[in-house]
Structure 1
Amino acid sequence: MAILLDGKKTANDLNEITRNRILKLKQRGIVPGLAVVIVGEDQASQRYVRNKHKLALKLGVNSIIKAVPATVTENQLLNLIAELNHDQTIQAILVQDPLPTRLNEQKIMQSISPEKDVDGFTTTNVGKLYLNHSGNYPVACTPKGIMTLLQQYNISLRGKKAVVIGRSAIVGKPMAALLVNAGASVSILHRYTNDITEYTQDADIVISATGVLRLLDSEAIKSGAVIVDVGQNLDENGHLVGDVDFETVRQKAAAITPVPGGVGPMTIATLMQQTVDLTEWGATNDE
């Protein structure tokens, strides 16, 4: 039976560390500021933003939500981000996905100052990640949260065979880079991979981020593998589940993340962690 990688508990522990860091900053007269820009009325996006805002306030972050209508023009949105880039009370900026398809998402994301890019999506910060830069820079929150969770459970990555299913800029690609930087040998699988089991059955670590219900069953993994499920799907009964057939895979794996309660809480906790990181790095540079 697999060990459950409890993201909820690990996130709570991380949030407590973040709260204490914020208290120390406030003693110096510094309050971390997070601005979340949300475009339109997407219900899932609004729910995510509310959850982020609620936790930020609970931890002591100055959290503001910039809600703009779906009719916003690209220039208006770029001007809003420019204002936030120059706002000295804001250390972290996040633009919530998805954006209306008529907007150039890449252009908008790249307009965020790298020093305030809490999601780690700008080319500057992505480049530092891929080069394994030794300095301070933010990394995509979900992959970084996964790395924190694996570290919490003392799961070694050096010399291991790892598979990442999904090649998005938000999860798959930065996840692969972090694993490579940690000493793992990594394969990235995607929709054009002919047979994913050719890779997953030989992998020590499998990270699935596809949103495909029951993509992996027990036959798709080897005994003793570590399984990280980033997927979020609804099953036939309307219950939130991941990409992995949890009940069968947990019998064979060494460790596995549940859905919910695995990767999700780590993502938002990492967002708060990196908001404080950016604040501390900026304060050090100003001294």
Structure 2
Amino acid sequence: MSDSIVSKPGVTVLASKISKIYVDEITSKVEAIKPIRPQGPLLVGFLANADPAAEMYASWTKKTSEGMGFRYELRRVDNKDFLEEAIIEANRDPEVDGIMVYYPVFGNAQDQYLQQVVAKEKDVEGLNHVYYQNMYHNIRYLDPNNSLKSILPCTPLAVVKILEYLKVYNNLLPEGNRLYGKKCVVVNRSEIVGRPLAALLANDGAIVYSVDIDNIQKFTRGEGLKFTRHHVEDLGPFSDELLQKCCSQADVIITGVPSEHYKFPTQYIKEGAVCINFSSNRNFEESVKTKASLYVPMTGKVTISMLLRNMLRLIENAEKSKTPQ
């Protein structure tokens, strides 16, 4: 047996490989709605910053969406003070099926306001407060007849789909409980990804340790999954000791720290854990594969697939809403 096999037992799984399983599904649905969208659905992306990661994401989105039959239009807004008006104009345009904004724009609470400016009927990123409230309360539909599916934020949803692909979800358990018995660590508690991801995983039955620079919180549905949605417990201020304790039994470690300098300590990873990074910066050292069984270094291409699935769902919901239930 070679030294390389001994020293690095882990396997790297690329997002591009995982995203391929959704391409046929998405492409066939785009083809099926040709009678109502003969030229393909139109997705508009707004770019009002100079972030290289946003430029890269926009380029990926264009290439991926056009490759599956969508139309994509990048609208650059040089003066971000005019972004709100540009979004409202797209909300009113019947030709536009989906809207996304490349954040951060202002990098503060004003970004949260902009998320609510996007009409929920066109919000492919799933950031509208209606979708967020449903997600946090573990409500999966928008209507009492359970015919209009609620939209989930696309990056947290991408991580869930990656975990399903990696067989972390137990399909022998009932839907909604398939992470029962699993322990996860999420290093990031942003309102865009980290917190909703912790909620989604806990709502599916996991014990989730949510980590940020201030403290560590525990998301869980209680002993025996007695609650219908997650509850949050504050475990105390952040410390390396507390982080290491949470990681010692973690089946999954997920990072999303937006810094090229941050590296998750490899020695904290339990033997055989699954490690996923959703930051545009690689949060794990190459040595991650000496401890992790499966390692996903980036999630971007799965995120774009989820964004396009969300867009198709919005169109489907809009068509169903035209028909009396």
Shorter-chain TM-score category?
A: 0.7 to 0.9
* Whole-Å separation in 2 of the counterparts to 1:221 and 1:203: 8
Closer/same/farther in 2, CA of residues 37 and 284 from structure 1, 3 Å limit: same
Cα drift, residue 41 of structure 1: 4.2
Count of residue correspondences:
272
Amino acid at match of 1:280: E
Is the partner of 1:228 in helix, strand or coil? strand
C-alpha displacement of 1:28: 4.7
Q: Which amino acid aligns with 1:86?
A: R
Q: After superposition, what is the alpha-carbon deviation per residue over 1:35-63, rounded to whole angstroms, capped at 9, x for unaligned?
A: 11111444442332122122222211122
Query: In the TM superposition, what are the counterparts of 1:88-167 in structure 2 within 5 Å?
Result: 88-100=94-106, 104-135=110-141, 136-156=149-169, 157-167=179-189
Q: Is the alpha carbon distance of 1:20 and 1:220 closer, same or farther for their aligned partners in structure 2, counting shifts above 3 Å?
A: same
2:88 counterpart residue number: 82
Q: Name the SS for the 2:121 alignment partner.
A: helix
Alignment partner of 1:198 is 2:245 = yes
1:229 to 258, 263, 277: 277
Residue 24 (structure 1) aligns with = 32
> Deviation of residue 245 (structure 1)?
1.7
Secondary structure at the aligned position of 1:104 is classed as helix
1:72: Cα distance to partner?
Answer: 4.2
Per-residue displacement from partner, 1:166-207 (whole Å, max 9, x unpaired)?
101122111101101111011101112112212112211111
Equivalent of 1:243 in 253, 262, 283: 283
**Does structure 2 conserve the Cα–Cα contact (< 8 Å) formed by 1:128 and 1:137?**
yes
TM-score (norm: length of structure 2): 0.77
User: Larger deviation: 44-53 or 220-229?
Assistant: 44-53
State the structure with bigger RCO (CA 8 A, min sep 6), 1 or 2: 1
Deviations 1:219-252 (A, max 9, x none): 111112111122333xxxxxxxx11123x22122
Q: Please list every run of 5 or more consecutive structure 1 residues that lacks an aligned counterpart in the other structure.
A: 234-241
- Counterparts in 2 of 1:89 and 1:164: CA distance versus 1, 3 Å: same
TM-score (norm 1): 0.87
Counterpart Cα distance in 1 of 2:180 and 2:33: 35
Pair 1:45–1:218, CA change in 2 (3 A)? closer
**1:12 to 2:12 alignment:** no
Shift of 1:103: 8.8
Aligned to 2:175: none
What is the RMSD of the two structures over their aligned residues, measured on CA atoms?
A: 2.1
Q: CA deviation at 1:33?
A: 2.0
Q: Residue 268 of structure 1 corresponds to which residue in structure 2?
A: 304
Q: Give the residue type in structure 2 aligned to 1:18.
A: I
Report the AA paired with residue 39 of structure 1: A
Is the Cα–Cα contact under 8 Å of residues 15 and 272 in structure 1 kept in the other structure?
A: no
Corresponding residue for residue 202 of structure 2: 180
How many Å apart are 1:78 and its aligned residue? Answer: 2.2
Cα separation, partners in 2 of 1:173 and 1:72, compared to 1, 3 Å: closer
Maintained 8 Å contact 1:214/1:245:
no
Larger Rg: 2
Contact persistence 2:53–2:280 (CA under 8 A): no
* Structure 2 counterpart of 1:249, one-letter code: V
CA contact (8 A) 1:215 1:244 kept: yes
Question: Structure 1 vs Structure 2: percent identity of aligned residues?
Answer: 26
> What residue is the counterpart of 1:278 in the other structure?
314
Equivalent residue, structure 1, for 2:193 = 171
Q: 2:48 aligns with which of 35, 39, 42?
A: 39
Structure 2 distance, partners of 1:276, 1:43, is: 28
2:251 and 2:273 in contact (8 A); partners too: yes
